[in-house]
Amino acid sequence: MSRDVKLQQQWDEIVNELSSRFSDGVPMDLDAILFLIGVQELGKGAQKFSKDDKINLMHIAICKLLEPYGYYEYEYTDPDGWPHYKILKELPNLRPGEQTVLMKEAVIWYFSLRNLI
């Protein structure tokens, strides 16, 4: 089985599982999954978030996902409970498709550690 086929199968498994749990079976896209990861990493549960908070949650998710790749490092949690990361190295210039593959691989890794797949 090629790497691309396996990646797609794992991605589909994650999308199906999360979609059944959080969106009544409507397939979730990468941004929605990043938002869920951000909420999970914030650790405050489901609540109403402002537009800026939603962007910050997605940023938290991206930092968490790319931390094992050496791009970010957890720095501290502020008094409001929001985690902060520092940049260790700049992300390489990737084409949009390559960015998507990197993020999907990172999401798969994240959920495989949590035994979702």
User: pTM, whole model, 2 decimals?
Assistant: 0.91
pLDDT of residue 46: 80
State mean pLDDT over 87-95. Answer: 91
Which of 81, 80, 60, 82 lies closest to 72, judged by CA? 60
User: CB–CB of 19/28 below 8 Å?
Assistant: yes
Give the residue, 29 or 45, on which the prediction is more confident: 29
Q: What is the pLDDT of residues 44-84, one digit of tens each?
A: 888 899 999 999 999 999 999 999 999 999 999 999 999 99
Q: Three-state DSSP class for 80?
A: coil
pLDDT of residue 117: 66
The pLDDT > 90 percentage for the chain reads 79
Give the residue, 5 or 1, on which the prediction is more confident: 5
Give the residue, 2 or 65, on which the prediction is more confident: 65
Please state, rounded to an integer, the average pLDDT across all residues of the chain: 92
Strands (E), the chain: 72-77, 83-87
pLDDT of residue 1: 62
